[in-house]
Amino acid sequence: MTDANQQMVEQYRNNFLREVEDNVEEGEWVKMCMQCGVCSGSCPFGPHWEHPPQEIFMMIRAGKRDEVLQSDSMWMCTSCYNCIVRCPRELPITHIMHGLAHYAKRLGIAPKNQPTQKFAQLFWNNLTKTGRVNELKLGLALYFMNGIGEGIKTSLKMQKIGLGMLMTKRLTPMELIGGHKCKDAKGLQAILKKAEELEAARIPATGK
């Protein structure tokens, strides 16, 4: 268990709802859920959610901390916003899912081999480096995120798509050596660093 996680467990004892309200993006909305179940029928990856959103909200109130934060479920969210426009209580469900995923990741207890967890981190690393996404490097990092063997298999499978994109000039090998970027990437990084510091000061779990 990471230090940050241990610290949160001690600080909030058995009040997981409070912990979510204090630390998770839009977490203060969780108590408004009336358990109607509409959101749970809305997720495109529905059958693959071990705990659909309604259940997650119930589990948060029941204090099932580890079951929620270590779950693979929030990482199944495709950001389709079906739930948000349907929820009778207008909970920002999409953002709570992203918030829970981020919080679990910060505490170091998100499922390690969850593919979206890895991809979302790669995406962030990729964009914060130069200020803009480098699609080629992101793609390569993605194919190789499960190791060299898997990566070569995936790359072969994706080869035809990559070739199609190259032929239609929707991908360029130049991205490997330079590629698109923000001129003031330094300024952007300074902004992000400050934002991280401010957020860490307001939200106790820094988990670094």
Residues that bind another protein (CB under 8 A): 25, 44-45, 48, 76, 78-82, 84-85, 94, 98-99, 101-102, 105-106, 110, 115-121, 123-125, 127-128, 131-133, 135, 139, 142, 157, 160-161, 164-165, 167-172, 174-175, 180, 182-184, 187-188, 190-196, 198-199, 202-203
Q: In the stretch 11-40, what mask flags binding to ligand SF4 with x, by CB under 6 A?
A: ----------------------xxxxxxx-
- Per CB under 6 A, the segment of 14-22, 78-86, 121-129, 159-167 that binds ligand SF4 is 78-86
Among 57, 75, 103, 143, binds ligand SF4 (CB under 6 A): 57
Please choose which of another protein, ligand SF4, none residue 57 contacts, taking the beta carbon within 5 to 8 angstroms, the exact cut-off set by kind: ligand SF4
In Å, what is the CA distance from 57 to each residue of 23, 71, 92, 99? 15, 13, 12, 13
Phi, psi of 63 (to 5 degrees): 75, 20
Please choose which of ligand SF4, another protein, none residue 191 contacts, taking the beta carbon within 5 to 8 angstroms, the exact cut-off set by kind: another protein
Report the alpha-carbon distance of residue 65 to residue 16 in Å, rounded.
6
**Can residue 187 be called a binding residue for ligand SF4 (CB under 6 A)?**
no
**Can residue 83 be called a binding residue for ligand SF4 (CB under 6 A)?**
yes
∠ CA 74-139-104, nearest 5°, is 25
∠ CA 17-79-41, nearest 5°, is 75
Q: Which of residues 95-134 bind ligand SF4 (CB under 6 A)?
A: 97
Q: Percent helix, strand, coil in the chain (nearest 5)? A: 65, 0, 35
Report the alpha-carbon distance of residue 129 to residue 131 in Å, rounded.
6
* Shortest CB 154 distance to ligand SF4, Å: 24
Distance of CA 49 to the CA centre of its chain: 15
Let me know: does 83 contact 52? Beta carbons within 8 Å: no
Half-sphere exposure of 207 (CA within 13 A, CB side): 20
Q: Give residues in contact with ligand SF4 (CB under 6 A).
A: 33-39, 42-44, 53-54, 57, 77-83, 87-89, 91, 93-94, 97
